[in-house]
Amino acid sequence: MLGDFCLRLACGLVCSLLLLSPAQGNPRFFRVHFLTALCLTAVAAVFLRELADLWAWIALGAGLLFAFLGALSWSVEKAPGGRGVIMLASISLLAALARCALLSSSEGTEAWKLAGEITSAAVLGTATTAMLMGHSYLIAPAMSLTPLLRLVASLFVSLLARALAGGLAFWTSGISLSKLDDTTMVLPVRWGLGIVLPLVLAVMAWQTARMRSTQSATGILYVAVIFCFVGELTSQLLYQWNGYML
């Protein structure tokens, strides 16, 4: 459970960098992202060691390598090869996430597990990256609002995609809301805290950021990150109970 969550977050963080222009951000922001992804991927590799096969290990190894190279690249002037390393790290971590998802899924649920993993990574990555980008305005208040607004918009889209994937998985799962059990008791909490409230907060953060009240937007995004984390962890719990990424 922890390894899966760390791999999703690492993948989401690195892929979120594809949304940003190096000219509009501080190189330190990219470097810290890669270092965080490196640590998260290492933790994921430890906890997923019994699940992973050769292809998963190749993808995880590549992810670790490119995350390390990304941290090095964004530590020097002009970040040589920085954009290419972001792309390579994203592909490697996506491949690792997809392979581990297929290995851990039960027969007939592979597509739903894969869709759930990718949309979950998108939610975790965009929420965390948007919050950290908002924090950057505390030390660079004159920075363009474009990166923050783009990340908040991506968070909103990611939440909609996660809701769609979870809703379709629920529709095919055969779970009945009329039957009171652990799943039906936890499911409203998962969707309320992990989908609905973050969507509302994303809209609030967007409107606040457009007024250039970046500190308020950052505070809203802090809360959104907490709700997204709680929602995705609860989703993992539900998956252990019924085998569907809800």
Write down the pLDDT at residue 158: 95
Residues of the chain with pLDDT below 50 are none
Write down the pLDDT at residue 180: 66
What is the sign of the dihedral through the CA atoms of 153, 159, 161 and 163? Answer: negative
Write down the pLDDT at residue 244: 67
* Burial grade of 245 (CB within 10 A; 0-12, 13-18, 19 or more): buried
Nearest to residue 33, comparing CAs of 47, 49, 20, 48?
20
Does residue 177 sit in helix, strand or coil?
coil
Judge if pTM exceeds 0.85.
Answer: yes
Write down the pLDDT at residue 177: 66
**DSSP letters spanning 89-131:** HHHHHHHHHHHHHHHHSPTT-HHHHHHHHHHHHHHHHHHHHHH
Write down the pLDDT at residue 103: 85
pLDDT digit string, tens, across residues 62-118: 999 999 999 998 888 777 888 899 999 999 999 999 998 888 877 767 777 888 889
Write down the pLDDT at residue 22: 79
